Chains A and B, each alone.
Chain A
């Protein structure tokens, strides 16, 4: 099986990534590996460099130093040094990014169907009927009423916009999805539904995922492994349950103890 073949090398290898904004540190010397099918959570307080790290490894920002190797269908590419066409091709076919604010990830004045179809058409599909069918299929998967296919996202609720963003990214069957606080703008019940949906999709499609969040409950539910960040550095990493049940670093202890238990 394809899975087995690619199992012996990590999907994403991040080596000593740093990003400096002038003298200010965005993130510093972060190393990790992401294996196929794995969900990695990056947690930390606001301003700890989570999003900077995510932008660096997803090819949207150029890191100051370090390297990111992505083992895609077309072989291993260096996301920091590969030619732009190759990098952008990988980004729009094999990767996806779900943003905290759906306005960043969706085209707000293009219909839901058009939003889902964009990647398909960018990858060369030139058949309206097929684009339409695929869009309907994905709306159903993310539990959006198929009658809404021609509505524009500004008429959608926050939770629906977020689900549409997920559909738009997953339509090309990517192997790797980056999520930047996908649930933080949503109320608790909608969060729970979205997480449920994500959990289902991750197992169904065998996705690998890097998820940035400040919500430990979300990581407990989805992530296999955790990286805890503070002031731009990774202070602790390990299996999710291990980190959350037996935190070693004082900051992680603080973070875990600050969760409210009703």
Chain B
């Protein structure tokens, strides 16, 4: 097939890779079968109650907590030999975390990996949702550091669970109120709390709030794994996900004064890159796959855009591109 050509693997075809690449001495995909079964049961429960955090017996993984142990355990328990895995870290396929996790699964499960969003069947992500629309039959797995959205306001775990059980979420709005009182707007820029299926308030993991609207009625299955906190939760396909806000301070996503310096995209999430000690900077797409795809199609950005114009853009709210 045509898509095969873009898939990165050591061997030529899928089957020969599985035979030759799996490390000896480890079970398929690292975790033992009992653990995988336990995690699958947890996932089923999580999918049945959208947004509800289900405890599970998180295992030690061969990397530190906070580096994606939760997401990796979900991936390990779901991945089959025919799956194609994509791993991103803050949108990029070539960062250390993404490269290591991709290599981990190609060595322990012998699966094919890819950087292209539309080719992947499993996407493990840290802190971003790809710009390319996910389709049904894809699964996106989020690495979650702190699954409890109410944690910073109510430290007592017993009380927090009761608040979830009784749907007492007034305190979450107190947090938003405080933001507006102090900063004049809802200043939370990542891990922006959402209401799932009109019932549970959920932490979407530290994705930028720019990505929040993508979660709403997404055709792909969304799974969230927190290894240190031992929680799994899920948003099934086509589930309503609403970002919390006030009637007079509606939810808004970030805007940028410039377009991507490489591909000229004006609709993707941009990273600010500082170029030197004089404060010059440029913005590039955080989603490397999205950016490369556009560059391949012939789109180009304008790196010379002056910062002065950027300020005008912020005031008028317009995004102009060369």
Q: What is the interface of chain A, defined by CB distance below 8 A to chain B?
A: 84-85, 88, 107, 110-111, 113-114, 117-119, 121-123, 126-129, 131-132, 149-150
Contact = CB atoms under 8 A, between A and B. Distances in A.
B291 to A, nearest CB: 37
A138 to B, nearest CB: 15
Given A84-B166, A85-B166, A113-B181, A118 B247 contact: no
A118 B170 CA distance: 6
A109 to B, nearest CB: 9
Interface string B243-266: 001111100000000000000000
Contact of B178 (A84, A85, A110, A119): A110
A85 B169 CA distance: 13
A110 to B, nearest CB: 6
A127 B246 CA distance: 5
B177 A131 contact: yes
A107 B246 CA distance: 21
Given A84-B166, A88-B166, A150-B181, A122 B248 contact: no
Given A84-B166, A126-B247, A121 B181 contact: no
B182 interface: yes
A118 B178 CA distance: 11
B238 interface: no
Given A126-B246, A131-B177, 12 more contacts: A85-B166, A111-B181, A114-B181, A122-B168, A122-B173, A127-B248, A128-B248, A128-B249, A132-B181, A149-B181, A150-B181, A150-B182
26 contacts: A84-B162, A88-B166, A88-B168, A110-B174, A110-B178, A111-B182, A114-B174, A114-B181, A117-B174, A117-B177, A118-B170, A119-B170, A121-B171, A121-B173, A121-B174, A121-B177, A122-B168, A122-B171, A123-B170, A126-B246, A127-B246, A128-B177, A128-B246, A128-B248, A131-B177, A150-B182
B48 interface: no
A127 B173 CA distance: 10
A213 to B, nearest CB: 28
A204 B256 CA distance: 53
A213 B80 CA distance: 68
A114 B177 CA distance: 7
A245 B177 CA distance: 51
B187 interface: no
Interface string B141-181: 00000000000010000000010001011110110011011
A113 B178 CA distance: 8
Contact of B170 (A84, A121, A149, A150): A121
Contacts of A122: 168-171, 173
A128 B180 CA distance: 8
Contacts of A88: 166, 168
Contacts of A121: 170-171, 173-174, 177
Contact of B173 (A84, A126, A129): A126
Which among A84, A126, A132, A150 has the greatest number of chain B C-beta atoms within 10 A?
A126
B17 to A, nearest CB: 53
A119 B174 CA distance: 9
A127 B166 CA distance: 22
B181 A118 contact: no
Interface string B64-105: 000000000000000000000000000000000000000000
The 5 A-B residue pairs with the shortest CB-CB distance, nearest first, are: A122-B170, A121-B173, A128-B246, A121-B170, A127-B247
A123 B245 CA distance: 15
Contacts of B245: 126
A121 B246 CA distance: 10
Contacts of B246: 126-128
A118 B182 contact: no
A47 B246 CA distance: 46
A114 B166 contact: no
A188 B153 CA distance: 35
Nearest to A128: B246
A131 B181 CA distance: 11
B103 to A, nearest CB: 44
Nearest to A123: B170
A95 to B, nearest CB: 15
Nearest to A124: B170
Contacts of B178: 110-111, 114
